[in-house]
Chains A and B, each alone.
Chain A
Amino acid sequence: GEQVEQLPSILRVQEGSSASINCTYENSASNYFPWYKQEPGENPKLIIDIRSNMERKQTQGLIVLLDKKAKRFSLHITDTQPGDSAMYFCAARDTNAYKVIFGKGTHLHVLP
C-alpha cells in the first residue's frame, strides 16, 4: 500500500509547550519524508525533512524522528508560538515510483 496515516487531525496546545504529530507509512520502499506547513490561503511550504539513512534531525525548534522498523515518523515542535498555528502535512516518497504521498494533515492550534 501507499497510504500515509497522520494523527492527530486536530491538536491544541498551550503557548510555550511542545506539539507532536505522528505519521505512519506502508511502503517499505519509502526513503524520504518531508514535512510541510500550510497557512490559510497559502501553498504548503517545506519546513523540515528526513531521509531514511537518519533517525533524527533537528532545525530551529523542529525535531523529526524516523523509526524505519515501525514505519513511523514524527514531528515535534518545541516551545510553540502562535505563529506555529497552521496545517501540517507529513509525506513519504516512494523511491521506486518517485511519488510523494501526503498524510491527511494536522490542524495545530497554539493557544495563548
Chain B
Amino acid sequence: GALVYQYPRRTICKSGTSMRMECQAVGFQATSVAWYRQSPQKTFELIALSTVNSAIKYEQNFTQEKFPISHPNLSFSSMTVLNAYLEDRGLYLCGARDGNQAPLFGEGTRLSVL
C-alpha cells in the first residue's frame, strides 16, 4: 500500500540552530508534496507546496530563506527549519499525493526548541 515515511519523529534543537526533516513516499509517486505546520492548539498551516516540474510555492508568512525545501524526485522531499526559535515549535507534516488523490501524511516531525 501507499505510505509516507517522515523522519525524524521528534527533534530538539537549540534556539538559533537549524534542523532538517525528510519525507519518503512509498508505493506511489509523490507528484506534489505539501509541508504543513501544526502549532499547539492550531490547525494545519500550509508552509509551501512543491509540485514536480513547477517552482515551490510558499504561503504568506513563510519563506524559502527560513524553510528551504528540496523535492528532487517523485519519492523524496526534505525541509529545513533555519534559525529555529520558540515560535517554530510544533508538529511538521509532509502531505504527499499523486495527482488528484487526497494528501497522505507522514507521521510528522515534532520540533521542540530550547
Do A and B associate with each other?
yes
How many residues does chain B have at the interface if contact means C-beta atoms less than 8 Å apart? Answer: 21
List residues of chain A with CB within 8 A of the CB of B51: 98
A43 touches B32 (CB 8 A): no
List residues of chain A with CB within 8 A of the CB of B93: 43-44
B44 touches A102 (CB 8 A): yes
Per-residue CB contact flags for chain B residues 43-74 toward chain A (1 = under 8 Å, else 0) read 11010010100000100000000000000000
How many residues does chain A have at the interface if contact means C-beta atoms less than 8 Å apart? Answer: 19
A99's partner among B43, B46, B104 (CB-CB below 8 A) is: B46
A12 at the interface (CB under 8 A from B): no
B102 touches A34 (CB 8 A): yes
A101's partner among B46, B105, B106, B108 (CB-CB below 8 A) is: B46
List residues of chain A with CB within 8 A of the CB of B32: 98
B108's partner among A43, A49, A89, A104 (CB-CB below 8 A) is: A43
SS class of chain B's interface: helix, strand, loop or mixed? strand
- The residue in B43, B105, B108 that gathers the most chain A C-beta atoms within 10 A of its C-beta is B43
B-facing residues in A56-104 (Cβ within 8 Å): 89, 97-104
Q: Nearest Cβ distance between residue B25 and chain A, in whole angstroms?
A: 14
List residues of chain A with CB within 8 A of the CB of B49: 97-99
B90 at the interface (CB under 8 A from A): no
List residues of chain A with CB within 8 A of the CB of B79: none
Q: Nearest Cβ distance between residue A101 and chain B, in whole angstroms?
A: 7
- Give me the interface of B with A, judged by CB distance under 8 Å: 6, 32, 34, 36, 42-44, 46, 49, 51, 57, 93, 95, 100, 102-108
Given A32-B102, A43-B6, 7 more contacts at CB 8 Å?
A32-B100, A36-B105, A43-B105, A45-B105, A100-B34, A100-B46, A105-B43
